[in-house]
């Protein structure tokens, strides 16, 4: 028999008001193919992918197939400053098809554009030329899933330069997965860029701030139901990048979609063809807007001048002009983008021009991800000092490496003792369910004599990664046992709200068939969402926090 005694009169600490958050990284097709409502893969014909040794590959027509006619990729007189486009040459008729995001593995040849009977779908594209165009979604065997729409460039609104913006509505006629077909008729050429197809009932469809990237409504609703108090974004390892110039530069993810610069996603290392790109249709502006809609504090993390230390030895010298202008200044400019006055700041004006004149209320910012070593500590200190000189109210978050063991984290805590500013130290752990059961008491005995520093447990999951057996597999992932162990761990987090301010689970999203990392909170495919047992634990704690 088990006896449970509850002493309701003994209050230890208040639970932190910012305890339960979410962490979004574009892994497992979490952005393109996931949160991004646009179902077209390689929508802008920029096609930036990766080789097995993390080299960039430009493949502008990847995931598009052309029957009849010829296609060429061009960058002369483009739609946007970072944009390539495709030019189709026809003599009578040509047909261009895209199957959407199928994950690129066992479903690589299957159609993945989800159509539902009775739903409306918005088709958008920029075109230039005189050919007649039809757009329709069909099954693999040619069965129509939507009605057809026809148009020419003359039917659209004038856009950048000589381009025309087309926006049409397709009506879903069956429940099935299909492919987008664009049929060009006539003799001549037509230029095409930024092709979009998304459910017209996207998240925030009636809110003018959502005039740029669009979010998939059912996935956002799953996040709303968690009631997160903050959201960390956009990563994760993609913040650091696999190699120089692959790091996440927030400035390339804002503004009109056609001005955003694509890059390869380092998680393409898990793909047979390196086929995972970051189109940045969902960029920093959209992440801030999402935080606002979730009622969650935004918590961006930026590149600290060190590429991913698990994949590269490349760094930017702390004493270089590049570090000052490209690394440190990016932090200061982001704070202006989020919080600044549009009348005084060019970055705040850009935010207003994108549809959000009011500030986002940024309070926290992460400096690097899973970085470690003396060089990182020096870089953190330089960036933190620059931020606090201008914005002393901003709470800076310091990486404490990857392993949750004292020999790894102690140098960061020692540094924290030297500061007169409050900071958060970000510890991570992926371990076995047994470790998480034991760690229900982990935080009870943390040394509180660390100056003004507090703890943030920014990534965790009972996925066995750091366990002695080190085995993470689909058979044992997202089990009732792993979820229960994570719940035990969270009881200790709640109990130590004086010192442990925040926790966030990782990873968040996973496209079935495109998995890069096994054991995730929310599984989905192009038409459905599957909430795991681990999600239910997060929802329980988020909705019923003491």
Q: Which two tokens stand for residue 509?
A: 């999203």
**Beta-strand pair 522-525/509-511:** parallel
Q: What SS3 class is residue 518? A: coil
Distance CA 480, CA 501 (A): 26
Q: Answer yes or no: are the C-beta atoms of 402 and 373 closer than 8 Å.
A: no
Rg value, the chain, Cα: 24
Closest C-alpha to 237, from 486, 33, 23: 23
Peptide bond into 367 cis (omega under 30): no
With bands split at pLDDT 50, 70 and 90, how would you rate the model's confidence at 466? confident
CA-based angle 371:375:380, to the nearest 5?
65
What was the pLDDT predicted at 329?
A: 98
Residue of 269, 336, 370, 459 marked active site: 370
Q: Kindly tell me if the per-residue pLDDT of 402 is higher than 90.
A: no
The tokens describing 417, both together, are 């003792």
Across the chain, mean pLDDT equals 95
**Overall CATH class of domain 20-37+204-543:** alpha beta
Q: What is the pLDDT of residues 169-218, one digit of tens each?
A: 999 999 999 999 999 999 999 999 999 999 999 999 999 999 999 999 99
Cis previous bond, 544, omega within 30? no
| Cα gap 267→275, rounded to integer Å | 9
- Catalytic site includes residue 313: no
Q: What mean pLDDT comes out for the span 387-416?
A: 94
Predicted confidence at residue 103, as pLDDT, reads 96
- Name the band, by pLDDT with cuts 50, 70 and 90, for residue 546: low
pLDDT tens per residue across span 477-518: 899 999 999 999 999 999 999 999 999 999 999 999 999 999
State the pLDDT confidence band at 2, using cuts at 50, 70 and 90: low
Separation CA 539–CA 222 (nearest Å): 10
What confidence tens digit (pLDDT) does each residue in 116-172 have? 999 999 999 999 999 999 999 999 999 999 999 999 999 999 887 899 999 999 999
Is the pLDDT at 291 greater than 70? The verdict is yes
> Do 342 and 357 form a contact (C-beta atoms < 8 A)?
yes
Q: Please give the pLDDT value at position 161.
A: 80
Question: What torsion do the CA atoms of 227, 230, 231, 236 make, to the nearest 10 degrees?
Answer: -130
Share of the chain above pLDDT 90, in %: 90
Query: In the structure encoding, which two tokens stand for residue 466, read together?
Result: 């750091």
Sign of the dihedral through C-alpha 122, 144, 103, 264? negative
Q: Which residues of 100-138 are buried (b: 16+ CB within 10 A; e: fewer)?
A: bbbbbeebbeebbbbbeeebebbbbbbbbbebebebbbb
Q: Tens digit of pLDDT for each residue in 294-320? A: 999 999 999 999 999 999 999 999 999
Kindly indicate whether the domain formed by 60-199 is annotated with CATH number 2.60.120.260: yes
- CA–centroid distance for 415 within its chain: 31
Task: Report the C-alpha gap between 287 and 54 in whole angstroms.
Answer: 26
Residues sharing a CB contact under 8 Å with residue 381, sequence separation 6 or more, in sequence order: 415
Of 149-163, 442-456, 466-480, the poorest mean pLDDT is in 466-480
Which tens digit of pLDDT belongs to each residue from 51-100? 999 999 999 999 999 999 999 999 999 998 888 999 999 999 999 999 99
Evaluate whether 544 touches 19 at the Cβ level (below 8 Å): no
- Does 20-37+204-543 match 60-199 in CATH topology? no
Is the pLDDT at 1 greater than 70, yes or no? no
Q: Is the pLDDT of residue 6 over 90?
A: no
d(C-alpha 262, C-alpha 50), whole Å: 12
Q: Tell me the domain boundaries of the chain.
A: 20-37+204-543, 60-199
Once rounded to an integer, what is the mean pLDDT over residues 230-257? Answer: 97
Give the residue among 352, 198, 161 at the shortest CA–CA distance from 281. 198
């Amino acid at each position: 028999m088990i006896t449970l005694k509850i002493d309701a009169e003994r209050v230890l600490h208040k639970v932190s008001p910012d305890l339960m958050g979410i962490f979004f990284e574009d892994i497992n097709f979490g952005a393109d193919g996931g949160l991004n409502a646009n179902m077209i893969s390689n929508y802008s014909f920029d096609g930036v992918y990766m080789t097995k040794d993390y080299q960039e590959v430009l493949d502008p027509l990847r995931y598009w197939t052309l029957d009849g006619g010829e296609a060429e990729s061009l960058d002369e007189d483009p739609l946007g400053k970072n944009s390539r486009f495709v030019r189709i040459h026809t003599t009578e008729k040509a047909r261009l098809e895209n199957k959407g995001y199928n994950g690129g593995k066992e479903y690589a040849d299957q159609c993945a554009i989800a159509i539902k009977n009775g739903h409306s779908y918005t088709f958008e594209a920029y075109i230039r030329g005189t050919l007649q165009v039809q757009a329709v979604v069909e099954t693999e065997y040619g069965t129509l899933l939507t009605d057809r729409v026809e148009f020419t460039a003359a039917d659209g609104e004038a856009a950048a330069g000589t381009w025309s913006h087309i926006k049409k509505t397709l009506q879903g006629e069956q429940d099935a997965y299909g492919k987008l077909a664009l049929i060009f008729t006539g003799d001549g050429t037509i230029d095409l860029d930024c092709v979009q197809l998304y459910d017209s009932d996207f998240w925030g469809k009636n809110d003018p701030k959502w005039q740029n990237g669009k979010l998939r409504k059912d996935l956002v609703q799953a996040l709303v139901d968690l009631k997160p108090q903050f959201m960390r974004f956009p990563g994760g390892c993609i913040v650091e990048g696999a190699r120089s110039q692959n790091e996440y530069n927030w400035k390339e993810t804002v503004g009109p979609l056609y001005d955003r610069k694509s890059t390869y996603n380092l998680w393409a290392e898990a793909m047979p063809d390196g086929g995972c790109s970051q189109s940045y249709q969902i960029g920093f502006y959209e992440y801030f807007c999402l935080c606002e809609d979730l009622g969650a504090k935004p918590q961006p993390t930026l590149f600290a001048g060190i590429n991913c230390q698990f994949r590269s030895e490349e760094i930017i010298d702390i004493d270089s002009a590049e570090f000052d202008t490209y690394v440190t200044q990016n932090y200061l400019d982001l704070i202006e983008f989020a919080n600044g006055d549009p009348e005084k700041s060019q970055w705040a004006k850009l935010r207003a021009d994108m549809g959000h004149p009011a500030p986002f209320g940024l309070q926290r910012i992460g400096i690097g991800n899973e970085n470690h070593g003396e060089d990182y500590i020096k870089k953190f200190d330089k960036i933190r000092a620059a931020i606090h000189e201008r914005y002393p109210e901003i709470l800076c978050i310091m990486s404490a490496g990857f392993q949750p063991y004292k020999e790894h984290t102690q140098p960061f805590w020692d540094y924290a003792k030297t500061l007169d500013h409050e900071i958060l130290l970000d510890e991570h752990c992926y371990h076995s369910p047994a470790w998480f059961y034991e760690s229900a008491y982990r935080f009870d005995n943390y040394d509180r004599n660390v100056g003004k520093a507090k703890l943030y447990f920014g990534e965790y999951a009972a996925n066995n990664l750091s366990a002695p057996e080190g085995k993470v597999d689909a058979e044992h992932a997202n089990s009732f046992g792993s979820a229960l162990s994570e719940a035990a761990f969270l009881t200790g987090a709640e109990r130590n709200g004086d010192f442990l301010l925040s926790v966030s689970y990782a990873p968040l999203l996973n496209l079935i068939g495109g998995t890069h990392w096994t054991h995730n909170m929310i599984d989905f495919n192009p038409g459905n969402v599957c909430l795991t047992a681990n999600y239910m634990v997060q929802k329980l704690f988020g909705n019923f926090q003491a």
